[in-house]
Structure 1
């Protein structure tokens, strides 16, 4: 029986899909080496040699202190300090996000991350987050692309939360410069939130709808097999659209948070202790935005100022886990129900972190 005439076309299509995935993989490795892996390795070596953390408290940029009123100086000085810390990671995130949409066939990421249960999908998303090691805001554009590719709610949320909470570099930094109880709290609570919490939020957000099974994954839409220039054009267009849509709203919210940070972060050594302060720390930490590992100098400063273990445990989880700018960026892709549920999960995680650190 003669071979069907469309077989060469299928072969070209499959070849183009593989080439697109390989190009995306190379891009991922290059930009992560540049923005994350090499800088964090060098930073870990410095911390090991010095025995102390050399980073600065971004919340004190411009001389702003807890209780200071909102001002344009507070807004701009924070944006400058924060931007200097995250611009590489944000650029890497935009490039990775564009590659996921333009180079990787649409059905590939769901087949990789969508498992047969929400818990398994959350585990896959959490494991997939560990190499990228981004802060919550820089992970947000990637979450948008994952959702547009058909990745399940559980896997997308777990990827978003796993980047800051299960960041291997930050865990190493904590081991080197902080009490062991901080590292244990972060790891235990992080695993519970990223896997169990993401699955629970997805269950509540999706209702009774079953998670997409492997067989029901989004059909693959390969890159163009005939005209590579079209693929590059699509990549550039996707990158430009994401930059035009996401970056301005991101900067506006970061400006607002920076302007009001004196009121939004009123916790200092005179704040006292108690359940109300722990709840305040959990809520405030959820709204704040910091760069990767930015919580370390903040928490060290609070500990030296005499802040109790409860608020520190809450902030240890909530400062990195989500933020107001990140929430704004992912809300349309995740849906407001899942986004609000993730914010509530972060607050609960902060309360759990306070309890675990108090016990330890």
Structure 2
């Protein structure tokens, strides 16, 4: 009996190591293609020019303040997916790998620390190499939560990707005044490592004894490819259609909602709150907030509005929230959106003071 148990444990460990190895290969190869190499080239260019090439993606939906339209929705959606599709593919591939290849007990050991602060630190640290926008990282956050990762860790991974993205921080320091990069880093850390611990208190108990008792890995290595394909198909069928539909809907109103430069004139200080709320709902590719805040400051608009958008635009979006809502719970997702609005206001105040 003891020999049988020992043999099964060794086999489970071996299969787990194979699964982790496959996940590592997908992670490195996928991100080299979708993120690391393209952003290295972009960084090299910006280090020379110190300018951001291209404008805000909202222009694809029409002129700022233009009425919602099907044409604007279509042009915005096409432009958006032309920018993000490699990262979206990698995000789905990694989500399926986390779900099918990574032993659950190993995942819980890595992320489910004793304290919520420890969980947020683990999830936030895990997010740093991915360099993804909020929508592309949403499937991975869903996969983490479904595998039993703590809500705090899942939230920190979800918002840590876009807010503490090392590439975007480098871009900011290269093309914007230093205050923008500092505020993004400091307030972003407050959101990722602080706000997530508060929001997670709304969640129900996270790990059951049954989860901890699950075997480390599938019994046979040959089971892994089929498990992976099933998981990939499930994520694709469930998440991709709603992602496409919600991006199209948001694209229809993006031109109308993105007239940030006129808000201060019409609303005064209240414009900052509007920017924080609207920015939390709109969807952008990685780094898409940079041309927006640069254009605002160049136009002489409120620094507070730019500060709010510096956090609100990248941190979350309505499509991202729709994708993670069932896995994290709609209550937790809504609370996280509220936390983004609050920290965006903090960003506005700090940037105004600097």
- TM category (shorter chain) comes to over 0.9
- Greater alpha carbon shift after TM alignment, 101-110 vs 156-165: 101-110
Please list, as runs of the form range in 1=range in 2, the aligned pairs for 1:124-135 lying within 5 A after superposition: 124-135=122-133
Cα shift readout 1:162-188 (whole Å, capped 9, x = no counterpart): 001100000000000000110111011
- Give the Cα–Cα distance (whole angstroms) in 1 for the partners of residues 300 and 51 of structure 2: 19
2:264/2:302 contact within 8 Å kept? no
- Greater alpha carbon shift after TM alignment, 217-226 vs 193-202: 217-226
- 3-state SS of 1:195 partner: helix
Stretches of structure 1 that go unaligned for 5 or more consecutive residues are none
The equivalent position to 2:162 in structure 1, one of 164, 167, 185, is: 164
2:111/2:122 contact within 8 Å kept? yes
2:18/2:221 contact within 8 Å kept? no
1:66/1:262 contact within 8 Å kept? yes
- Give the Cα–Cα distance (whole angstroms) in 1 for the partners of residues 326 and 308 of structure 2: 28
The equivalent position to 1:248 in structure 2, one of 221, 241, 246, is: 241
The equivalent position to 2:268 in structure 1, one of 254, 260, 274, is: 274
- Give the Cα–Cα distance (whole angstroms) in 2 for the partners of residues 150 and 332 of structure 1: 14
- Give the Cα–Cα distance (whole angstroms) in 2 for the partners of residues 59 and 313 of structure 1: 18
Cα shift readout 1:10-57 (whole Å, capped 9, x = no counterpart): 222211111111111111111011111111111100111222111331
1:269 deviates by 4.5
2:281/2:318 contact within 8 Å kept? yes
- Give the Cα–Cα distance (whole angstroms) in 2 for the partners of residues 146 and 313 of structure 1: 31
The equivalent residue for 1:232 is 225
- 3-state SS of 1:357 partner: helix
- 3-state SS of 1:18 partner: helix
The equivalent position to 1:336 in structure 2, one of 319, 330, 338, is: 330
Q: 1:222 to 1:257 in 2, by over 3 A?
A: same
Q: 1:55 to 1:113 in 2, by over 3 A?
A: farther
The equivalent residue for 2:316 is 322
Cα shift readout 1:130-182 (whole Å, capped 9, x = no counterpart): 01111000110001000011011111111111001100000000000000110
Q: 1:5 to 1:114 in 2, by over 3 A?
A: closer
The equivalent position to 1:140 in structure 2, one of 133, 138, 141, is: 138
Q: 1:270 to 1:227 in 2, by over 3 A?
A: closer
The equivalent residue for 2:3 is 4
The equivalent residue for 2:196 is 198
- Give the Cα–Cα distance (whole angstroms) in 2 for the partners of residues 227 and 15 of structure 1: 8
Q: Does 1:351 align with 2:351?
A: no
1:254/1:289 contact within 8 Å kept? yes
Stretches of structure 2 that go unaligned for 5 or more consecutive residues are none
- Give the Cα–Cα distance (whole angstroms) in 1 for the partners of residues 74 and 233 of structure 2: 25
The equivalent residue for 1:15 is 14
- Give the Cα–Cα distance (whole angstroms) in 1 for the partners of residues 16 and 167 of structure 2: 33
- Give the Cα–Cα distance (whole angstroms) in 1 for the partners of residues 210 and 353 of structure 2: 45
- Greater alpha carbon shift after TM alignment, 288-297 vs 299-308: 299-308
The equivalent residue for 2:306 is 312
1:107/1:149 contact within 8 Å kept? no
- 3-state SS of 1:134 partner: coil
- 3-state SS of 2:259 partner: coil
Q: TM-score, normalised by structure 1?
A: 0.94
- Identify, as 1 or 2, the structure richer in helix: 2
CA RMSD of aligned residues (A): 1.8
Cα shift readout 1:33-82 (whole Å, capped 9, x = no counterpart): 111111111110011122211133111115x1222111111011001110
The equivalent residue for 2:151 is 153
